[in-house]
């Protein structure tokens, strides 16, 4: 009888150990998810800063970018092409943010913090030019559809 009681006790202890292990694993996964999200937000911020510094540190690129966003018709064909490529690079950057959000590796706060940039880009005359360019075909379907929804909602 003692042997049966000992066996039951070992079984209960083992089950408790499994439950504690599962809880511990859940806590670790949650911590890793939060760490991944924090790293992704930090990476996104660094990419935003890098893009802005790159554009802002060259007066000619700054001039073309500003004109492309606000009055692309004032640019030469070559400058408009350059503006398309700069815009495409930024769209690819935002596509990465959208994909991270869809995969769940970017928090809702991280996603919301980028919406002003998405909306701002989609509202510019430069986006109207970009969306008709060959360069726009470099973008994935999800980001194209997201920007189109924003663009059309502002029309």
Tell me what percent of the residues of the chain surpass a pLDDT of 90.
28
Q: For 70-123, what is each residue's pLDDT tens digit?
A: 999 999 999 999 999 999 988 988 888 888 888 888 888 888 888 898 899 999
Give the CA radius of gyration of the chain.
Answer: 25
Q: Are 68 and 110 in contact (CB under 8 A)?
A: no
The answer to pTM > 0.85 is no
* Alpha carbons 143 and 86: distance in angstroms, whole number: 16
* Alpha carbons 13 and 96: distance in angstroms, whole number: 47
CA distances from 33 to 28, 39, 41, 82, 144 (A): 9, 10, 12, 38, 28
């Amino acid at each position: 009888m003692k042997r049966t009681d000992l066996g039951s006790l070992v079984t209960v202890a083992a089950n408790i150990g499994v439950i504690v292990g599962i809880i511990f694993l859940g806590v670790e996964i949650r911590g890793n998810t939060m760490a991944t999200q924090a790293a992704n937000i930090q990476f996104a911020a660094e990419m935003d800063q890098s893009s802005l510094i790159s554009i802002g540190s060259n007066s000619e690129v700054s001039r073309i970018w500003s004109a492309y966003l606000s009055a692309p018709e004032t640019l030469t064909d070559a400058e408009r092409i350059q503006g398309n490529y700069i815009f495409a690079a930024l769209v690819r950057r935002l596509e990465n943010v959208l994909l991270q959000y869809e995969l769940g590796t970017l928090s809702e706060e991280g996603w919301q913090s980028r919406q002003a940039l998405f909306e701002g880009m989609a509202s510019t005359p430069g986006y109207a030019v970009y969306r008709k360019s060959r360069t726009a075909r470099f973008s994935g379907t999800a980001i194209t559809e997201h920007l189109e929804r924003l663009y059309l909602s502002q029309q």
